[in-house]
Amino acid sequence: MDVIPKVDTNWGIAFTTLDINGKTPEFNPGLWTCKAFIDGEVAAILTFNVIDYDELTIHYSDSILPGVRSSTKDKKWDDVWRVQIGVEYKALDWLDLRLGYVYDDSPIQRETADYLLPANDRHLYNFGCGLRWGQWTADLCYTYLEMESRSVSARPEDGVLDSRFKDSHAHLIGSSVGYRF
């Protein structure tokens, strides 16, 4: 990661890429992250994630039909953008407050959507806090996930009927406890 400070100020920007499956960013962009720093602390993070997924193959330990030990389905997912932004505020010496938003653009094409993963574009709203005392830390978070509605056209050859997925949402809660040695 490179931090590029502006002369005579305490701010900077960092930009990183991550190799996925041994591919370089020039051939498969993977995960791109941009971080903004203020007073040496991360003030904001913007992440772009690009994934390539053409087919799904499932291998079975036992045959599902005589002589059939695997099943392959075309997925042809598109490369899409995932944008996430978050802020952290050090409210007290022992308390950090966090707030974030994520937009997940769905890679699933209308012509290959099915019941295995009927997802569509998603919005994730989250907040949390971090607590510190001595060598101990504790983090708590809550995320509300809201998925946009989607219609799927019938494809009888794939076992897919005319369908509509709507009002999809989830409440996610997380926690962690740590000790620094």
pLDDT tens digits for range 13-22: 444 444 444 4
How many whole angstroms separate alpha carbon 57 and alpha carbon 74?
9
Low-confidence ranges of the chain (pLDDT < 70): 1-52, 118
pLDDT tens digits for range 101-135: 999 888 888 888 887 776 789 999 999 999 999 99
CA distances 97 to 17, 89, 132, Å, are 27, 5, 12
CA distances 122 to 28, 118, 168, Å, are 23, 12, 9
Please give the pLDDT value at position 67: 84
Please give the pLDDT value at position 57: 82
Please give the pLDDT value at position 115: 79
